[in-house]
């Protein structure tokens, strides 16, 4: 006779009525959450930037420098005319240039990195994307309120990561 015994009857039999109810509720909950997630991602604008292009870090830096030279103010910031594309370059451990935008105007801000992966977090505006070398990403931004808004790097990028901050200035 074997020392192993079969499990008690009912272990592999049909589900009890209560278990069927819980299984149906779990499947229904999963379907509802899936529908909510799909709606949030595709209908509520929660996608990452869909417009991007490949560019070498050196080419993007040249675009940033040309943009900066064209619209640079005496304080070093750049006033972006409505309708013009703006450029932001991440590099250890800074963002450049400081952008000045107008309230209510829509801007395309192109973002890339010179060296390593950086995280672009535009505080109070619910933007959080990655800046990767070799890729430029477009962010569409329509500021609704004047003020100075903090930009932080939220992807560890080296010893100076904690100091990597800048701002976007929104004017009336």
Q: What is the DSSP letter of 55?
A: -
Q: Where are the alpha helices (DSSP H) in the chain?
A: 17-43, 57-71
- What pLDDT does residue 70 have? 95
* Residue with the two structure tokens 């100076």: 160
Closest by CA to 157, choosing from 109, 121, 110, 108, is 121
Q: Residue 64 has what pLDDT?
A: 96
Phi, psi of 147 (to 5 degrees): 150, 180
Least confident window among 35-44, 110-119, 137-146: 35-44
pLDDT score recorded for residue 73: 95
pLDDT bin (cut points 50, 70, 90) of residue 66 is very high
What is the pLDDT averaged over residues 85-107? 94
pLDDT at 126 over 80: no
Residue 18 pLDDT: 84
pTM check: above 0.75: no
Angle at 106 between CA 147 and CA 120, to 5 degrees: 65
Closest CA to 139 of 164, 102, 106: 106
Q: What is the pLDDT of residue 12?
A: 65
Burial of 69 per CB tally in 10 Å (0-12, 13-18, 19+): exposed
Q: What is the distance between the alpha carbons of residues 14 and 25, in angstroms, rounded to a whole number?
A: 18
Lowest mean pLDDT among 37-41, 48-52, 83-87: 48-52
């Amino acid at each position: 006779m074997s020392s192993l015994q079969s499990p008690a009857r009912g272990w592999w039999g049909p589900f009890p009525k209560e278990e069927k109810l819980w299984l149906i509720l779990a499947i229904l909950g999963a379907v509802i959450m899936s529908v909510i997630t799909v709606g949030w991602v595709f209908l509520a604008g929660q996608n990452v930037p869909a417009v991007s292009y490949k560019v070498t870090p050196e080419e993007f830096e040249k675009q940033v420098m040309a943009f900066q030279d064209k619209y640079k103010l005496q304080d070093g910031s750049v006033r972006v005319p409505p309708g013009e594309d703006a450029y932001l370059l991440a590099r250890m451990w800074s963002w450049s240039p400081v952008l000045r935008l107008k309230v209510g105007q829509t801007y395309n801000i192109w973002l890339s990195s010179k060296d390593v992966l950086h995280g672009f977090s535009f505080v109070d505006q619910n933007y959080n994307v990655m800046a990767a070398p070799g890729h430029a990403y477009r962010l569409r931004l329509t500021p609704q309120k004047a003020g100075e808004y903090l930009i932080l790097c939220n992807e560890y990028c080296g010893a100076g990561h904690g100091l990597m901050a800048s701002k976007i200035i929104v004017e009336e």
